[in-house]
Every structure is written in C-alpha cells, then in structure tokens.
Amino acid sequence: MNQANPTDQKTILVGVTDIFFYTKVRDALMAKGYKFERARTQQDIADKASTTHPAAVILNMNDETLNAFQALETLTTDAQLKTIPILAFANHEEVDTFNRARALGVTKIVSRNEFSARLKELVEEVVGSHA
C-alpha cells in the first residue's frame, strides 16, 4: 500500500437513511474487513468523506432524506473528494436517475436488485478501480 495515499483503504462511507439497509450492507461487507461510516444527510456525507477519505462511497439515489444528487455533486466537484469511487444504486425503472448520476460522475450505478445481489463484487470493483 502506498503510504503517501491518505485514503483509508478499508472504510466505506454508506449514504443511506434506512437502518435495516445499512445493516445489510455492513453485515455483507464486514467479512471482507471493511469498516463503516454511516451518513444520513448530504452534509454528513461531505463532512465524513473529508475527514475519513474512505475507500468508497455507497449512495442510495432514491433516498429523499439524503439528497443523493446534491451529495454526488459535492463529492465529484471537490478536488480532495473527487478521487473517491462512488457506487450508487437506484430503482431500475428510473432511467433519468441513472443518466443524471452518470452525468455527475458516479463511478458505477446499478439497480437496487443488482446492488443487493452483487454487493461484495461491486464494492471490490469500484475500490479496485481506484487502487
């Protein structure tokens, strides 16, 4: 591992307000040795991303409370944060959400079903893409 890299290689910042979904993500990835920070608001995501510089951010694009689009915009336009890979998910029928997230610079966006089914592989993929 590059010692000069400030990224915390094992912390995942999870931007979801649903505690049950957060727990599912945490439980699925704990065996891989990841640590977790949970963010419940757009500002929470910006603050925690700045202080922990996580290996990746997971965003629920359908979470109204979180304001995921604003969080995504903050992450991808901040010079210090834009190198953090972002794995986002949304309801599969929301084509506009997928297109808008891609336009804002999300690393990867998948349907909620694919996210649930392939969580470990997807996280490894986005983390590995920026290693």
What digits encode the pLDDT tens for the residues 1-15?
Answer: 333 344 567 899 999
Rounded to an integer, what distance in angstroms lies between the CA atom of residue 123 and that of residue 88? 10
- Tell me the domains of the chain and their CATH numbers: 8-129 (3.40.50.2300)
pLDDT at 63: 87
pLDDT at 65: 87
pLDDT at 7: 56
For the chain, list residues with pLDDT below 70. 1-8, 130-131
- The whole model's pTM is what? 0.90
pLDDT at 2: 37
pLDDT at 110: 97
pLDDT at 3: 38
